[in-house]
Amino acid sequence: MDTSLGDNSFSIDLNTNLSLHNTNTSPRETLDEELIRMREENKKLVTMLTNLCENYNSLQTHLIELLQKYSTHNEENSNLLLTRKRKAEEECCVNNFEEASPKRPREITTNVSTVCVKTNRSDQTSVVKDGYNWRKYGQKVTRDNPFPRAYYKCSFAPTCPVKKKVQRSIEDPSILVAVYEGEHNHPHPSQTEITVPLVNQDVTTDPTFSNKFMEDIDTNSLQQHLVQQMASSLTSSPTFTAAVAAAISGKIFEYDLPFK
DNA sequence: CGTTTTTGACCCGCGC
DNA sequence: GCGCGGGTCAAAAACG
């Protein structure tokens, strides 16, 4: 995860470097002490943030490992029940970047990944906002799911071979299951309208669910969210706002005084 | 008027 | 060989 959050250089500059031209020692000493205290607090915050990033990374790695194990387990169980055809589909979904079945020569090597997206129950559309532009070319009601399956091609087709199938989960209709086939051979057109894929129990109990969704989580929006959370928690602290107010007033004071 | 979506028809692989 | 089911095509409709 290449992130500025993991960068130790990230610091909260409170602009508390006050250089007051006040000769009164006692308020200055107080301010100096306050300044030292704020710097230490700043250091602590940086350390905490670094640890937080490290913990997040290790947790993410752990989650991916668990999902991989879970997928393998489901594959073994379902092998007893599924027909050969459906089993082949299952394997295709569980194992990403696996070659397509040799019995289907029309599909050359395709990368298959599954992404689950939480939507509003009132939203009946089957649109998964992933930043790419798609053109719908078909819709079909399948045997094992009453919700229609929509077929999309990348709008860059035929240059871009990527297709996706979108269908609501039979277990939880508020979840859209999108199956992507192939890799885009063009840059991502937009990073602005990405729906963060969902991690919940309904999704992980779906045997067709793939761990690939973790890679599709937009790291930029996650970073923004974390920064916003940290900013709000800091600004909600009375000591922090007091320190900022002191820093700003001190700065104003600095600009006012030299001519006195 | 160009683009996208809808939808019925068709194709093809698989199982019996 | 036949039927079933999933995937794709393509004409018509809808949309901006």
Residue nearest to nucleotide B13 (CA to C1'): A104
Which of A81-85, A173-177, A250-254 holds the top average pLDDT? A173-177
Amino acid A234: pLDDT: 46
Give per-residue pLDDT as tens, A90-133. Answer: 333 333 433 333 333 333 445 777 777 776 555 555 566 667 78
How long is the CA A149 to C1' C12 vector, in angstroms?
21
Which of A79-83, A182-186, A226-230 holds the top average pLDDT? A182-186
Amino acid A143: pLDDT: 79
Amino acid identity of residue A20, one-letter, is L
Record the tokens describing residue A29, joined without a space.
């000493």
Q: Where are the alpha helices (DSSP H) in chain A?
A: 25-78, 84-94, 201-204, 213-216, 219-235, 238-256
Is the pLDDT assigned to residue A223 strictly greater than 50? no
**Could you give the count of Cα atoms lying within 13 Å of A93 in the half-sphere of its Cβ?**
22
CB proximity A147–strand C (7 Å threshold)? no
Task: Tell me how far apart the alpha carbons of residues A89 and A112 are, in angstroms, rounded to a whole number.
Answer: 10
Amino acid A138: pLDDT: 87
Amino acid identity of residue A34, one-letter, is E
How long is the CA A136 to C1' C15 vector, in angstroms?
14
Which pTM was predicted? 0.45
The more confidently predicted of residues A88 and A38 is A38
What nucleotide is nearest A85 when CA is compared to C1'? B14
Q: How confident is the model at residue A196 (pLDDT cuts 50, 70, 90)?
A: very low
Which of A34-48, A62-76, A78-92, A230-244 comes out lowest in average pLDDT? A78-92
The neighbour count for residue A246, using CB atoms within 10 Å, is 18
Using alpha carbons only, what angle is made at residue A113 by residues A156 and A74, rounded to the nearest 5 degrees? 165
**What would the mean pLDDT of A38-64 be, rounded to a whole number?**
72
Record the tokens describing residue A260, joined without a space.
């006195």
Amino acid A79: pLDDT: 40
Is the pLDDT assigned to residue A190 strictly greater than 70? no
Mean pLDDT of chain A: 58
The more confidently predicted of residues A209 and A136 is A136
Which nucleotides in chain C lie closer than 7 A to a protein CB? 4-10
Chain A residues 123 to 142 whose Cβ lies within 7 Å of strand C are 137-138, 140, 142
Q: How confident is the model at residue A67 (pLDDT cuts 50, 70, 90)?
A: low
DSSP, res A194: B
Which of A49-58, A118-127, A174-183 comes out lowest in average pLDDT? A118-127
Contact A70, A201 (CB under 8 A): no
